[in-house]
């Protein structure tokens, strides 16, 4: 038994519960991790294969070519981009770069479950602001939660797991109310799936506000969840700090080349996103027709506020061959996947008492 003390922050750390996987040898649709149901494009597989022969070497530590390609696609300068081992790592690096022990980080709740973990590991204190019954972030309450101790506010848009995107007018009011030395992180992991015309335009907001950082990822729309590539977009001085706080060589050579190939195939990949968005509409419409009250979704998942029935509903789905993500006592998040998976899921949802 080791007598080495672990950090106190670990004692209270909520666990990150990964989406359920089918047991080895069993078949099930995996709608539990907001993944892209499409396999990688042949051009991306070819880039991965080409990259494989170089894995005896370290990758380009600064992912220079990828950073330049991302910057060009967004219309920002390359020194604004910091890549990481998934945007979840980029978030950790952002917090490590700016938080001192005891600083406060305001965050919506329920939201992405990695937030409280990342905040605690950065030595900061999370201040949770409840999301409304409609699944929308309450940006007014979040602005009111800002104190002189607040260093960062996390804004998840669209919000995982509830689905709605933050609107441009509410974000503008929020940014006007928050002091300019508070960092506002817009987590746009699902931005490519947004179709709400009122949704905030993260890049435009970034251009106007030097205290805004964007987080984006290749895991969702680009279908590279297994390779772990995400990035932060920040003003160059902040970006340099985030880079300094990053894990060296955090994005593998294989991941860098796959992300570059995905950017080159962007139009084709975004057509796949269109089909996920269409499937999302079919799922939402069918659920509402069954009598369910579900919030709007601008991402690749929908939220069922099942309360105490969440876990039993997820078990029922699993028995039917569909894995979903329950949040015990709160609700169930269902990723938008294959049409066959939607059909199977809708069979289960039709048999359960609606709320
Ligand atoms: C809101 C949000 N942000 C960030 C991430 C992290 O994505 P990744 O680390 O794969 O880039 C996720 C993943 O589910 C997410 O839902």
Count the residues in the chain: 355
Look at residue 251 in the predicted model and tell me its pLDDT: 98
Asked whether the predicted pLDDT for residue 355 surpasses 60, the reply is no
Q: What is the mean pLDDT of residues 118-143?
A: 97
**Average predicted confidence (pLDDT) for the chain:** 96
Q: Give the model confidence (pLDDT) of 41-98 as tens digits.
A: 999 999 999 999 999 999 999 999 999 999 999 999 999 999 999 999 999 999 999 9
pTM above 0.95, yes or no: yes
Dist. CA 5 → ligand 1 center (Å): 31
Residue nearest to atom 3 of ligand 1 (CA): 189
Q: pLDDT band at 241, cuts 50/70/90?
A: very high
Strands laid side by side in the 150-156 sheet: 81-84, 230-233, 212-217, 183-187, 150-156, 104-109, 125-130
Q: Which residues line ligand 1 (CB under 6 A)?
A: 34, 86-88, 112, 156, 160, 187, 189, 217, 219, 225, 230
Dist. CA 174 → ligand 1 center (Å): 23
Structural domains in the chain, sorted by start: 14-34+267-351 (3.90.1150.10), 42-264 (3.40.640.10)
Asked whether the predicted pLDDT for residue 285 surpasses 80, the reply is yes
Dist. CA 219 → ligand 1 center (Å): 7
Q: pLDDT band at 3, cuts 50/70/90?
A: very high
Residue nearest to atom 2 of ligand 1 (CA): 189
The atom number, within ligand 1, closest to the CA of 161 reads: 16
């Amino acid at each position: 038994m080791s007598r080495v003390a672990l950090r106190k922050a670990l004692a209270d750390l909520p666990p990150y519960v990964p989406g359920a996987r089918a047991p080895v040898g069993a078949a099930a649709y995996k709608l539990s991790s907001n993944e892209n149901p499409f396999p990688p494009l042949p051009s991306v597989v070819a880039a991965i294969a080409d990259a494989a022969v170089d894995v005896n070497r370290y990758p380009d530590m600064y992912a220079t070519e990828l950073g330049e390609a991302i910057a060009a696609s967004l219309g920002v300068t390359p020194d604004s981009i910091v890549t990481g081992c998934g945007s979840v790592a980029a978030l950790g690096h952002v917090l490590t770069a700016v938080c001192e022990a005891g600083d406060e980080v305001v965050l919506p709740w329920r939201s992405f479950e990695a937030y409280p973990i990342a905040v605690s590991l950065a030595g900061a204190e999370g201040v949770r602001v409840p999301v409304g019954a409609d699944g929308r972030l309450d940006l007014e309450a979040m602005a009111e939660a800002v104190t002189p101790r607040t260093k960062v506010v996390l804004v998840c848009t669209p919000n995982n797991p509830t689905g709605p995107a933050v609107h441009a007018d509410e974000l503008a009011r929020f940014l006007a109310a928050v002091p300019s030395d508070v960092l506002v992180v817009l987590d746009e992991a699902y931005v490519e799936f947004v179709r709400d015309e009122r949704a905030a335009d993260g890049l435009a907001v970034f251009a106007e506000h030097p205290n805004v950082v964007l987080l984006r990822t290749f895991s969702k729309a680009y279908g590279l969840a297994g390779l772990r590539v995400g990035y932060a977009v920040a003003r160059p001085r902040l970006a340099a700090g985030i880079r300094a706080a990053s894990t060296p060589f955090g994005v593998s050579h294989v991941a860098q080349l796959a992300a570059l190939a995905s950017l080159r195939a962007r139009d084709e990949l975004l057509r796949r996103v269109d089909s996920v968005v269409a499937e999302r509409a079919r799922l939402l419409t069918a659920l509402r027709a069954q009598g369910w009250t579900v919030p709007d979704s601008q991402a690749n998942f929908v939220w069922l506020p099942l309360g105490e029935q969440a876990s039993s509903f997820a078990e029922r789905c699993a028995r039917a061959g569909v894995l979903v993500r329950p949040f015990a006592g709160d609700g169930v998040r269902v990723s938008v996947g294959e049409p066959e998976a939607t059909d199977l899921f809708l069979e289960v949802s039709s048999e359960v008492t609606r709320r």
